[in-house]
Structure 1
Amino acid sequence: MQQLEGFGKFLEGLRGKMSLREAAHKSGLSHAYIRDLELERNRSTNEKIKPSPVTLKKLSDAYNFSYTELMEKAGYLEKEEKSESEVEIPFQDVLYIEVSMREITYHTHMSKLNRSVNSLIDFSGFLDKLEEQGFKKMDTDLFVNLQHVQKYAEKEGKLYFDSLGIGKHVVIAAIRQKKYHELIVRSVARNTGMSLGYQFERNSGVETLFPSLKRQI
């Protein structure tokens, strides 16, 4: 695969209004070398140059741009066309995700879908994307979409995706439960339309259909 024609101009566009010295500070590269890359030649020897994968990773971090896409445009990776069976499930439909170094499993209300992890680059980007979409890490290999949690069984450390607590659920790690307890309670209250007071009563083992009346007595 050939480097994208005008790749130097593309890098210059990514830098945008950022000065060369600021780009150098963020990337750890010299400002002179960054400019050479943008011109696609070594100004001392006039030879054409191409950034290495390591250099691209530094620029990716400095410019907050996808490393995978940068590698594709530089000609190091083939751009993969996704077949219909490999189209990603919309994150808003996913209840929770289990991950490993080899496989990603999406769980929805009706099904689960496995996807292989093609590379560490893709995997790293995937984990970043989960955080952006509001998933929280609830165990070593478990990420939960708190927008779908309907019931929180605190004593068992279980999160249910239905209000009756009889359907799909996950068990979260104790250390994560402690860290995200208040966030979970607030999320369940928001998802079910119940008041926080009602949720705290349920989580403490006291459940009533008339929480406001109970407070008045």
Structure 2
Amino acid sequence: MKQLDGFGKFLETLRGKMSLREAAHKSGLSHAYIRDLELERNRSTNEKIKPSPVTLKKLSDAYNYSYTELMEKAGYLEKEEMNHSSVEVDIAQILFIEVSAKEVTYQFQHSKISQNVHSLVDFSDFLDQLEEKGFKKMDTDLFVNLHHVMKYIEKEGTLYFDQPGIGKHVVIAASKQKKYHDLLLRCIARNTGNSLEYHLDRNGSIDSMRSTLKQSF
């Protein structure tokens, strides 16, 4: 399905009398980016832009408008697909989730599942579940399950899902490193069964030194 002609103008209409800064505060997006979306172009590069499903979810919440309808108008959902069920996945077993404009990829320890965004009719509910299941947004379209993080190389911003730090991993945004630094340490201590006392090894990764941690996050 193609994006609604004049979709940017439609977003501006949804914002109504709300100022750009108020919309930014409610959505968590920058006021400049919201205006770019309304103009359907990046004013710095003059390139055409399209909001991702994650961005649409934020705008849906900020403007109190149906997420499903917004996805439809943005060209992600067909009306006839509304009754299709999505592939069921065990959220607890997912290491991390990557969301692109066209699909969502669930990464497991030994496999991955990619699902077309068109079939995610309950995508809004799905995103709402992530926080309560231990996920944190670690980059624009990256959600990490903190229950599975086993090692953190701080200087690289790399999270590993195995203690040796040689297997699957993701690189998180610098702003998220700063925001979730202490939480990451607590989670790794809990996941590995070690204490919160750490030292930096030669690679700059954070390793535990002492007894079992009894607190949970």
So what's the TM-score if we normalise by structure 1?
0.54
* Residues 154 and 203, structure 1, Cα contact 8 Å, conserved in 2: no
| 1:24 alignment counterpart | none
User: 1:32-72, CA deviations, whole angstroms, 9 ceiling, x for partnerless residues?
Assistant: xxxxxxxxxxxxxxxxxxxxxxxxx99xx7xxxx976xxxx
Contact (CA 8 Å) 1:67, 1:121: kept in 2 or not? no
Assess, with a 3 A threshold, how the Cα gap between structure 1 residues 140 and 203 changes in structure 2: closer, same or farther: farther
Name the counterpart of 2:152: 152
Tell me the distance in 2 between the aligned counterparts of 1:180 and 1:117: 28
Contact (CA 8 Å) 2:98, 2:106: kept in 1 or not? yes
Superposed CA deviations along residues 156-195 of structure 1, whole A, max 9, x for unmatched, are 1000000000000000000011000000000000000010
SS of equivalent to 2:110: coil
Contact map agreement 1:152 1:203 (CA 8 A) in 2: no
Alpha-carbon contact 2:82-2:121 (below 8 Å) kept: no
Query: 2:199 matched to 1:201?
Result: yes
Q: Report if aligned partners of 2:194, 2:208 keep a CA contact under 8 Å in 1.
A: no
Number of the residue aligned with 1:180 = 180
Unaligned runs of 5+ in 2: 1-59, 69-78, 212-217
For the aligned residue pairs, the C-alpha RMSD in angstroms reads: 3.3
- Fraction of identical pairs, as percent: 57
Distance 1:140 1:110 in 2: 24
Structure-2 change in CA distance of 1:121 and 1:78 (3 Å): closer
Distance of aligned partners of 1:203 and 1:190 in 2 relative to their CA distance in 1, 3 Å threshold: farther
Amino acid at match of 2:131: E
Helix, strand or coil for the counterpart of 1:118? helix
CA shift, 1:201, in A, is 1.5
Shift of 1:121: 6.0
- Separation (CA, whole Å) in 2 of partners of 1:208 and 1:107: 24
1:103 matches 2:108: no
Classify 1:160/1:134 alpha carbon distance in 2 versus 1 (closer, same or farther; 3 Å).
Answer: same
1:208 offset after TM fit, Å?
Answer: 8.0
Task: Check conservation: 1:161, 1:167, Cα contact below 8 A.
Answer: yes
The alpha carbon displacement at 1:207 in A equals 7.7
Output the CA distance in 1 between the equivalents of 2:184 and 2:208: 21
Q: Which amino acid aligns with 1:189?
A: A
Q: Could you list the runs of 5+ residues in structure 1 that have no partner in the other structure?
A: 1-56, 69-75, 213-217
Contact kept, 8 Å, 1:153 with 1:203, in 2: the verdict is no
Matched residue SS, 1:109: coil
Once residues 157 and 163 of structure 1 are traced to their aligned partners in structure 2, the CA distance between those partners, rounded to angstroms, is 16
Letter in 2 for 1:201: H
C-alpha distance in 2, partners of 1:208/1:173? 21
Alpha-carbon spacing, 1:150–1:88, altered in 2? closer, same or farther (3 Å): same
| Counterpart position of 2:125 | 125
- SS of 1:196's equivalent in the other structure is coil
